[in-house]
Amino acid sequence: MRQSLMHKNNCLPFQSHLRFHASSFLLDTNFSIFAFLHKQSPGTYQPFSLLRLHQSNNSKVIRAGAPAEPELGTGYFSDNDEDSVLETCITRTLPPAVTLEHGLEKIKEEVDKLKLDPPCSDSGILRIQIAVPPSAKSLNWFSCQPLSSGVFPQFFMSKETLSYMCEPPSLDRLRGVFGIGSAVSFIRSPSFTSGNWSSLRRFLSVVSPLITAYGFTNITFDSESLSMRHQNGSLYLFIPQIELDEYDCISILAATLAWGDSSDYSFQGAVNSFELSFYQACHHFRPAADNSNNQYKLRKFGLVDDVVSQMIYLNALSLDGNDIGFDPLLMKEVASPCQFCVRFSPAIGFSSNMLDHSREMTFSVQNCANINSLWASLIIEEFVRLGLTYFCIAPGSRSTPLSIAASTHSLTTCIACYDERSLAFHAVGYGRGSHKPAIVITSSGTAVSNLLPAVVEASQDFVPLLLLTADRPPELQDSGANQSINQVNHFGYFVRYFFSLPVPTDDISARMVVTTIDSAVFSATSTPRGPAHINCPFREPLENRPWKWNLSCLKGLENWMSSGEPFTKYIWSQHFHELNATRGIILEVIEIIQGARKGVLLIGAMHTEDELWAALLLAKHLMWPIVADILSGLRLRKILCFFPEVEDKFIFIDHFDHALLSAAVRIWAQSDVIIQLGSRITSKRVAQTLEEFIPRSFIMVGEHSSRHDPSHIITHRIQSTITQFADYLLKARFPYVSSHWCQFLQALDMMVAREISFQIDSEYSLTEPHVANIVSQSVSCESALFVGNSMAIRNADMYGRGSVKCTHNHNISSLVLSSGVPYHGIQVAGNRGASGIDGLLSTAIGFAVGCNKRVICLMGDVSFLHDTNGLALLNQRVQRKPMTILVTNNHGGAIFSFLPIAEATDRRVLSKYFYTSHEVSIRNLCVAHGVKHMQVRTKVELEDALYISQGEENDCLIEVESCIDFNLAFHSKLRKFASQAADQSLNLLSSISVSNSGFYLCKIQRMTYSLYRVQLCSPPTSASYNHDSTEFYREGFILTLFLEDGSFGFGEAAPLEIHKETLPGVEEQLRFLLHVIEGTYISCLVPSLKGSFSSWIWNGLGIKPSSIFPSVRCGLEMAILNAVAARQGSTLVDVLDSQANREEEIARHLSTVQICALLDSNGTPMEVAHLAATLVEEGFTAIKLKVARRLNPMEDVSVIQEVRKKVGSKIELRADANRKWSYSEAIHFGLCVRDCHLQYIEEPVKDESDIIKFCKETGLPVALDETIDNIQECPLKLLSKFSNPGIVAIVIKPSVVGGLEKAALIARWAQQNGKMAIVSAAFESGFSLSTYVQFALYLDRQNKETCRVMNKEVGSIVAHGLGTYRWLKEDVATEPFRTQRNTYSGFIEVSIEDSDYMLKRSELNRNTILRNFSGEKIHNYWFPMDFEDFSCSLKVKEIGVSNKVRTGYFPLYVFCW
């Protein structure tokens, strides 16, 4: 029998800790090895034939050539039709590299090791791969290859879709694949037969699905003559020797070596060929800081467009299970890129969709009619040559020469706007997204002054920006000329560079113009980045009217005009002498970090993917707690794999801000060393805490030298890129920060996070924190987020959700898993330089253009209204993907409601002069600009709107209705409960003694279970039964869980018909759990019942929590919690409530539970009334009557009326219809019993959607029961539909809803929404009933604490649905379930002491036990599994009868660490 639970090792490739020795190559790092495991000779791996290549006249497999010799020998894998055997087939994964250059170095080191100890095998293929930073570098790498290259082929293949590809392609924005050299190539002529396709498929499947063959259809390439010709039906494929494969979240650098048993195709020959490719690739790569225009770089190769040939790429995944042959129709199934360029020799190369032949690459003066036109054209041309092609043009007369030159240049992209302020902010956004400056062109006068806000923002936040401001000539200055102001140094120290050009004249060399541009661009793009301003005065004529000028001014520009290169190239130096000079300081910093006991890694704004990558590698290396700002991109990180072994190396503290609301936490969480990467952080509370409790050392790392230290606490300011700093530290060794410190912080953060999530999810209304939360989840790995200022960025920082599962396929996830970096950062931007609310919409639009991603923009209504002119920019879809703009409209400036001014100022003054309240129609503004508008008021509407907008090809604005007062109240509620959760968590954690084994309470020794059968007095009211039967029984399982100290606890798994479970199915899961749970440690957070049990089941047992049956989950939780209570010598309620503020008054008044009697209303109204009266005499204050069992609802009406008359008005009556009435029947009943004063009626209608309608029409209070029984995942989302005040109670059966943890969550939602939370039994034994008594007491105490925090009065005592004990004719326990009649009130109740006594002192009644089970023999073996996009082997634990005959060959894919 195989276990039926979803084990986590069944979800992703299995992680093992084995080592193999293959062909004298020690695999001591991450690798994959493919073999056939012969079951008859365990432990040995046989040579295998995976590559089968048949020689024919029409096809051959060769190794590609080196620079001097295009073919170092044509090597065949077989000289005849015999099978060829590859003895070594290995993929080796190295630890990730902080830069691409480091990745190349590590690969070279591995190849050098192989040279010293070469493989013993005669043939094989080896792939060495390493994860490198994910920013786009492949096109740049291709374009940097020299014209005289001798290593071929070389190619770049874009991964951009045709509809969104950039025109022209940008070196630092276009992702793809770069490859150079050929490890193996495959050539096929048109007469080739489809049967040999299997050879290629087997070859690609040899090592790993990551190996990809690239090639072209309809061409024949002669490697000897380096010639190429078109031939329909032909094919050329190759596997590159060096390959850079770029994804959104990761880039993989790989080297492939292949060798055979011939002398021409030896391992040494493969190494020699690789080294030639490696040398060329390494020595012809320039970083992306090289701004030269890529069109010029690509044009130098003489590439031509080829519409006949088609590039294709194939791997094991695309060929798996297919034999597509070479049928032209079937070949369409093979993947083909829309953009590529390839070189086969210095003279042969072609491309597709990469070049625009209509665009001239050299400068011409023929169209320059006058000197103004010449200078303007020189300016624009030099910008383009420097790679700056995005121009933002404001209309104006004086700037005519510049505007015409920019708009008519063949390589520029221009956008226009009538508002210079919006235009400048748009340029700032472009700089944020692309990390390159946009060029703003304006006229003279106040048009220039309107640029100031954007200039300040760019200066303060180090965003590159270029300003070309037209001006009047000197003779018109200070003379009262129209639109003439002093524009010299107009922006003061906010610009990095200023130069006022002279008025254009041919008396001045034109070289001065281009060198000025070169200098300005260098200043704007070098550290510290920022704005550069060039003032450009012009005399008339401003238009392109002919005016004679002297060509002599172009002297010295001859070479420049005939080439495509910028005039002055600024060389980026690494300043080796400076690095050596700072080595002593770096060593001092390393010593500080090594001595840290409580270190924290604070990550501020990150601007590039490479910075994110370096920060993640550093975080993994240090293993310090990470506090990530919203602008870091890591706050909204997407998780790519769910392996705890990998995730545990990253300790993200996402809700540190709210944890610091607790004064006790602020004192306790003091750190001694802080490293801050990136610029300032958003959270004021974090900054204030750091100022209050100053760390011993505060190390700030930033590329600029500006002082970002408002608290004046920084002790070490390191001016360095984050990548450089990470590189230094990754070479050093650091001891782990106190694991207790890290675990405490992580547990504290988890508890606060769950509290925040609960409060947001349980609120039915659409709140601004929910908007921030849902928007953060909507941002995909392929999109980006722009956040406005004021409340928008604060909400995103406090309530944005990280660690959401990414949508990448398993193939990419496996790459990330092997790299050890399981997260993908999200590009997030905002204007936090000066933090103004002006220009935000325009900035967001520019950001979308710059980053070339779908962008979601989140901002407030006042910010939006401040920049409505940005809507004019939104309509100009220039090189931009669709945007979604969310405007939270609370009709004013909500942030002022959070400030002290709100409490001390008259509301009228506050509304007019601070909130600036308004009733502006955002919808009408969108209509006026032709922008799609959607208005949402509910959570569901928001989710639907986001979903729709993400699938649209047009921009969309979503207006979210909000209210300042409600927003303030909800934030206050969030802060109170977050503070309470932080206090409670700290109390809990402080009371636990953390051992060396970890953050655990105790260890489970073993678990057993017993099948019982007890007799009932009557049939359960929830089950159908044989009316002729006189005996009724209840069956189930009692779990006994033993801890290592001998303590034990009971649990019960007893499914009813309503469980939709069976006893055999339950027992199957219990048998599996018996073996999995043995030796497991119980997390100290398990008793909190706030998601901790689910986390423990997944992380501790490796089981998907939702795959466990509800009754089994409930029984397991019972057993564990009762065992923990026994170990601690306390009651279960004290174990659950240990973190609460248990005052003596609470303990004194909440120590008993009142019970609601259950009455099956069979019989006449008088008979039922008599039974009810008997129950009242016994001391019951509440009675629940079963209804809807009769044919006519009026019969039930008569029963209810008679019972009410008999018992009087002081007894609470409940009715339970169990969803058996139609809506009309329920209405009929409800209208007739309105005067009977029912406390509530449970589930009156069959259809869940009719419940609220029933409440409104009858006015009767309703309770939910079966409705919540059907909840499997996300109960709060379903419950939110029932916040209507007509729903007064939630009846919770823990064994049906799935355990005490889920029951506690549902109960808390009910209590916070003013509803009764009633614990109900499902006819279980006394063990369960006693546990439910303790659990009900815990819920009652929780309710009292909730009311205290919310300043609400506590309602009357609730009678819980535990009256099923009266059905037990006998019990599984030797001690009876004890009830008592209160001496003072006379009410029936159960005390803590009695229920605790039963749980601790009672034993199993052997007369009721049918059999016991304590375990059985386990058979362990590996089970191979092949899926569409990955393969793995599972470690199977099989119980039951063993199949002794297991013969044959089984493929085994092992992922080892």
Task: Just list the catalytic residues.
Answer: 1184, 1293
Q: Buried b / exposed e across 140-151, counting CB within 10 Å, b at 16+? A: bbbbbbeeebbb
DSSP classification of residue 1314: T
Q: Are residues 1378 and 1390 in contact, defined by beta-carbon separation less than 8 angstroms?
A: yes
Burial of 578 (0-12, 13-18, 19+ CB in 10 A): exposed
Which two three-digit tokens encode residue 1199? 């029963």
Q: One-letter amino acid identity for 550? A: N
Give one DSSP letter per residue of 1121-1146, joined into a string.
HHHHHHHHTS-HHHHHTTTS---HHH
Residue 94: count of CB within 10 angstroms of its CB:
20
Burial of 397 (0-12, 13-18, 19+ CB in 10 A): middle
Nearest of 285, 250, 139 to residue 613 by alpha carbon: 250
CA angle 197–202–206, rounded 5-degree value:
155
Nearest of 152, 210, 154, 220 to residue 186 by alpha carbon: 220
Counted residue by residue, the chain has a size of 1457
Give the N- to C-terminal CA distance of the chain in Å, as an integer.
30
Residue 1433 phi, psi (nearest 5):
-125, 140
Which two three-digit tokens encode residue 1440? 């039951």
Angle between helices 1251-1258 and 1223-1232 (to 10 degrees): 30
CA angle 153–248–880, rounded 5-degree value:
100
Cα–Cα distance, 525 to 1339 (Å, whole number): 61
Cα–Cα distance, 238 to 1325 (Å, whole number): 70
Which two three-digit tokens encode residue 212? 């990809």
Q: Are residues 78 and 270 in contact, defined by beta-carbon separation less than 8 angstroms?
A: no
Cα–Cα distance, 583 to 139 (Å, whole number): 35
CB-based contacts of 136, cutoff 8 Å, min separation 6: 171, 172, 173, 174, 175, 176, 246, 288
Residue 1220: count of CB within 10 angstroms of its CB:
17
Cα–Cα distance, 1265 to 1362 (Å, whole number): 14
Cα–Cα distance, 575 to 1405 (Å, whole number): 82
DSSP classification of residue 7: B
Cα–Cα distance, 658 to 271 (Å, whole number): 57
Q: What Å distances lie between residue 1428 and 203, 316, 322, 641, 1425, CA to CA?
A: 18, 10, 12, 18, 10
Residue 743: count of CB within 10 angstroms of its CB:
17
Q: One-letter amino acid identity for 628? A: A
Sheet containing strand 1359-1360, edge to edge, reads 1359-1360, 1152-1155, 1388-1391, 1380-1381
Cα–Cα distance, 338 to 159 (Å, whole number): 8
1279 Cα distance to chain centroid: 26
Which two three-digit tokens encode residue 678? 């990136």
Residue 149 phi, psi (nearest 5):
-55, 145
